[in-house]
């Protein structure tokens, strides 16, 4: 039930949270980047590319005068979106401080990725077990995850800290595993609004929480600071691989350790 009309962010896909994840200070929730029209970047600075990845587009976002009023920093945010030969989706963000006043700036970031799943009760997330997390549902208090893979039976809104570069989402019913590979993004946010919050959101169907899960490669706990002229990179790669976890044909650990 996403609303495709500015100024609200479109719910779904991969909203890009910049220059802040979350909602403190004068900035809107998750920053303004996800609410702006980007331009095609026809002349991006050189990029080390994998020659087999020919299908890509370069986008750029620069702040408007209005943006500068709420976040008084000049930046160039370049985003390369690449579709790999096997259907993998790569997103590479390059953010450069172009302030002329000599001032550094600090930001937090997330690829707020919405995954489609067949039944949230049958989904497991592998790669985050035993890690520390900040629980958004308990005033961002810090806890340590116990036990095995993460499963879902109620609302979840957690920021896992210092996570591995690979995380897997196993969709038992669909026999499909999403693998997230990330670089420059130490944290991982896991969110499902469950029934009550789903009902409260105008752009979200009452039952849609059963068929989605957000797992978000992010840099939240330790904000990133760039001096003028400095650039930061954050990369996320998504692939979907067939899995038959229950029959044991594909061990999720091997998905995580593999290629």
Residue positions annotated with a catalytic role:
112, 216
Q: Which is nearer to ligand TA6, 68 or 137 (CB)?
A: 137
Residue 138 annotated as part of some ligand binding site: no
Q: Give the contact letters, 157-186, x = binds to ligand TA6 (CB under 6 A), - = no.
A: x-----------------------------
Q: Which is nearer to ligand TA6, 71 or 114 (CB)?
A: 114
Q: Cβ distance 15 to 112 under 8 Å?
A: yes
Q: How far apart are CA 142 and CA 104, in angstroms?
A: 29
Q: Which is nearer to ligand TA6, 179 or 217 (CB)?
A: 217
Q: Tell the smallest beta-carbon distance from residue 21 to ligand TA6 (Å).
A: 7
Q: Tell the smallest beta-carbon distance from residue 214 to ligand TA6 (Å).
A: 6
Q: Cβ distance 114 to 214 under 8 Å?
A: yes
Q: Which is nearer to ligand TA6, 71 or 160 (CB)?
A: 160
Residue 118 as a binder of ligand TA6 (CB under 6 A): the answer is no
Q: How far apart are CA 114 and CA 238, in angstroms?
A: 12
Which of 53, 136, 151, 165 binds ligand TA6 (CB under 6 A)? It is: 136
Q: Cβ distance 252 to 242 under 8 Å?
A: no
Residue 29 as a binder of ligand TA6 (CB under 6 A): the answer is yes
Which of 73, 78, 112, 176 binds ligand TA6 (CB under 6 A)? It is: 112
Residue 125 as a binder of ligand TA6 (CB under 6 A): the answer is no
E strand intervals along 98-230: 105-111, 114-116, 123-126, 132-135, 141-144, 156-160, 166-171, 176-183, 187-192, 212-226
Q: Cβ distance 168 to 127 under 8 Å?
A: yes
Residue 33 as a binder of ligand TA6 (CB under 6 A): the answer is no
Contacts of residue 228, defined as CB under 8 A and 6 or more positions apart, other chains included, come to 97, 98, 99, 100, 102, 103, 104
Residue 214 as a binder of ligand TA6 (CB under 6 A): the answer is yes
Residue 34 annotated as part of some ligand binding site: yes
Which of 12, 20, 30, 243 binds ligand TA6 (CB under 6 A)? It is: 30
Residue 29 annotated as part of some ligand binding site: yes
How far apart, in Å, are the Cα atoms of 178 and each of 40, 94, 114, 152, 248? Answer: 29, 24, 11, 16, 17
Q: Tell the smallest beta-carbon distance from residue 110 to ligand TA6 (Å).
A: 7
Residue 35 as a binder of ligand TA6 (CB under 6 A): the answer is no
Residue 187 as a binder of ligand TA6 (CB under 6 A): the answer is no
Pairing type for strands 231-242 and 176-183 reads antiparallel
Q: How far apart are CA 172 and CA 169, in angstroms?
A: 9
Q: How far apart are CA 77 and CA 38, in angstroms?
A: 10
Report the run of H or E that residue 49 belongs to, with start and end.
none
Binding site for ligand TA6 (CB under 6 A): 9, 29-30, 112, 136, 157, 189, 191, 214, 216
Going by the annotation, the residues of the binding site for substrate are 11, 29, 34
């Amino acid at each position: 039930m996403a609303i495709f009309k500015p100024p609200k962010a479109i719910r779904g896909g991969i909203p890009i949270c910049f220059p802040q994840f979350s909602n403190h200070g004068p900035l809107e929730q998750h920053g303004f980047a996800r609410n702006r029209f980007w331009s095609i970047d026809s002349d991006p600075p050189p990029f080390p590319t994998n020659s087999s990845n020919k299908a890509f587009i370069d986008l750029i976002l620069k702040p408007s005068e209005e943006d500068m009023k709420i976040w008084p920093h000049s930046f160039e945010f370049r985003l390369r979106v690449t579709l790999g030969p096997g259907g993998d989706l790569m997103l590479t963000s390059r953010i450069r401080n172009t302030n002329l006043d000599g001032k550094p700036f600090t930001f937090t970031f997330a690829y707020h990725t919405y995954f489609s799943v067949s039944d949230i009760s049958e989904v497991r997330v592998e790669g985050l077990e035993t890690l520390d997390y900040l629980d958004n549902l308990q005033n961002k208090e810090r806890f340590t995850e116990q036990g095995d893979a993460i499963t879902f039976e109620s609302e979840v809104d957690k920021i896992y800290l210092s996570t591995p570069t690979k995380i897997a989402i196993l969709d038992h019913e669909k026999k499909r595993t999403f693998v997230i590979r990330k670089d420059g993004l130490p944290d991982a946010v896991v969110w499902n609004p469950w029934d009550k919050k789903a009902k409260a959101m105008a752009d979200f169907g009452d039952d849609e929480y059963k068929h989605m899960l957000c797992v978000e490669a992010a840099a939240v706990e330790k904000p990133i600071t760039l001096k003028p002229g400095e650039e930061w990179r954050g990369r996320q790669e998504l692939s979907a691989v067939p899995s038959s976890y229950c029959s044991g044909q594909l061990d999720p650990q091997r998905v995580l350790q593999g290629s």
